[in-house]
Structure 1
Amino acid sequence: MSKFHLNIQKLVQGEFKIQKVNIAFVFQVNCPGCFIYGIPIINNLYRLFSSNVGFIGVATAFEDFEYNNEANLKLLLDNGTLVGETKKYFKSNYGLSNYSEIPKFPVAFDSIISSEELINSDKIEVICNAIPNFSNFSEKEKEILLMKIKSYYSEIPLIAETFTINQLQGTPSFIIFDDNYNILGHHFGHINEDTLKTRLEHFLS
């Protein structure tokens, strides 16, 4: 069973307490889909399950760093301020400059490191080990793949750790995990609220 690697800066809002069942909601502030399909769902699930499920929102950044940053996360949490493409979407479709579904759950900003820090750390091995059948590769194959991964990340100046180490596909992403950080379920993109609710109820039982 694969592990969820939660690498965050200090929490910007609330307190995350690890429980037997937990859910991480990984999003970007410059991601309209995260606001349309993600935050309202997690807000509602938090209202229903916060007494026995651990909730953590992780605002991340794999692009558009001028929008996806901790300062804009704080503006969202303080008064629903929208930025970038998210602001354009809600302004053009609903005439709104501020978001009404401000996150109620604990939220942190992803840990941001340089590509050099990632490449020269054991975190690069975690990324390699997440590749299917990596342990069965020959030493030569492992070496070649490691070089390719290092070369790829050397071209990216800033690395969001939680997003990168877990090799998430994009945002929004929903990760259900236990108190040992074993991943119980993972979904990327739009998901029905009832589906997540059923999964949480299943793992709680």
Structure 2
Amino acid sequence: MSKFHLNIQELVQGEFILNKVNIAFVFQVNCPGCFIYGIPLINNLYQSFHNDVGFIGVATAFEDFEYNNEVNLKLLLGDGKLVGATKNYYIINYELSNYSEKIKFPVAFDRITTSEHLINSDKIELICNALPNFPNFSKTEKEILVAKIKSHYVEMPLIAETFTLNQLRGTPSFIIFDDEYTILGQHFGHINEDILKRRLEHFLG
């Protein structure tokens, strides 16, 4: 089964305690949907399950690095300050420039690396192994795919490792994993809170 690669730069708020069942909430500060749906959902789950489930929020960046950065994450956690498209959404719809909901769960910032470092490391193999059926490819097919992946990432000046190594589709993303970092389930985009709640209860047994 696939492993969840949690490569964080710094734990900015709280303490992540690995448990038998854990959930990672991957978001961007410049992602209105992460604030409208994702944060309230994880806050509610944290309140209900924090004694039994490990929680970690991972602020990442796959675009808009001028907004999606550690400085703006700290301003969000400290003062509720919003930026970019998220700020515009709350000003237009609620006449608010700050986020009124307190983020209760532990939060880290994704580890940011350069394309040169990524393509010259063993992390390329981790990216390949996150792709469906990669182990079944022939040697030639694997070599072609590795070359394509390196060519793709060499064009990116900055790369967020947790987001990239797990080949996440976007934000918000929710990953449930065990104490050996084996992925038990994952979801991208808006998801009903009751669905995630039932999944946590199932894995808790």
State the TM-score bracket (shorter-chain normalisation).
over 0.9
- Tell me the secondary structure at the aligned position of residue 10 of structure 2: strand
Q: Is 1:77 aligned to 2:77, yes or no? A: yes
Matched residue, 2:156: 156
1:9-24 equivalences under 5 Å are 9-24=9-24
Please state how far the C-alpha of 1:19 moved relative to its aligned partner. Answer: 0.1
1:41-52 equivalences under 5 Å are 41-52=41-52
Mapped to 2, the partners of 1:85 and 1:172 lie a distance apart of: 15
Amino acid at match of 1:61: A
Q: Give the stretch that moved more between structures: 93-102 or 148-157.
A: 93-102
Matched residue, 1:145: 145
Please state how far the C-alpha of 1:137 moved relative to its aligned partner. Answer: 1.5
Mapped to 1, the partners of 2:190 and 2:133 lie a distance apart of: 29
Mapped to 2, the partners of 1:178 and 1:135 lie a distance apart of: 23
1:122-137 equivalences under 5 Å are 122-137=122-137
Is there any run of 5+ residues in structure 2 with no aligned partner, and where? Answer: none
Are the counterparts in 2 of residues 38 and 190 from structure 1 also a CA contact under 8 Å? yes
Please state how far the C-alpha of 1:102 moved relative to its aligned partner. Answer: 2.5
Please state how far the C-alpha of 1:173 moved relative to its aligned partner. Answer: 0.2
Please state how far the C-alpha of 1:138 moved relative to its aligned partner. Answer: 1.6
Please state how far the C-alpha of 1:103 moved relative to its aligned partner. Answer: 1.1
Matched residue, 2:65: 65
Matched residue, 1:191: 191
- Tell me the secondary structure at the aligned position of residue 147 of structure 2: helix
Q: Give the stretch that moved more between structures: 78-87 or 124-133.
A: 124-133
Amino acid at match of 2:57: G
Mapped to 1, the partners of 2:85 and 2:131 lie a distance apart of: 32
Amino acid at match of 1:5: H
Provide the TM-score with structure 2 as the length reference.
0.99
Q: Is 1:53 aligned to 2:53, yes or no? A: yes
Are the counterparts in 1 of residues 114 and 159 from structure 2 also a CA contact under 8 Å? yes
Matched residue, 1:175: 175
Are the counterparts in 2 of residues 79 and 102 from structure 1 also a CA contact under 8 Å? no
Are the counterparts in 2 of residues 76 and 102 from structure 1 also a CA contact under 8 Å? no
Amino acid at match of 1:29: V
Please state how far the C-alpha of 1:131 moved relative to its aligned partner. Answer: 1.8
Superposed CA RMSD: 0.6
Q: Tell me the percent identity.
A: 79
Is there any run of 5+ residues in structure 1 with no aligned partner, and where? Answer: none
Q: Tell me which stretches of 4 or more aligned residues in structure 1 moved more than 3 Å.
A: none
Mapped to 1, the partners of 2:130 and 2:168 lie a distance apart of: 11
Amino acid at match of 2:172: P
Provide the TM-score with structure 1 as the length reference.
0.99
Are the counterparts in 1 of residues 11 and 109 from structure 2 also a CA contact under 8 Å? yes
Task: Give the number of aligned pairs.
Answer: 205
Q: Deviations over 1:74-111 (max 9, x none)?
A: 01000110000000000000111110113110000000
Amino acid at match of 1:131: L
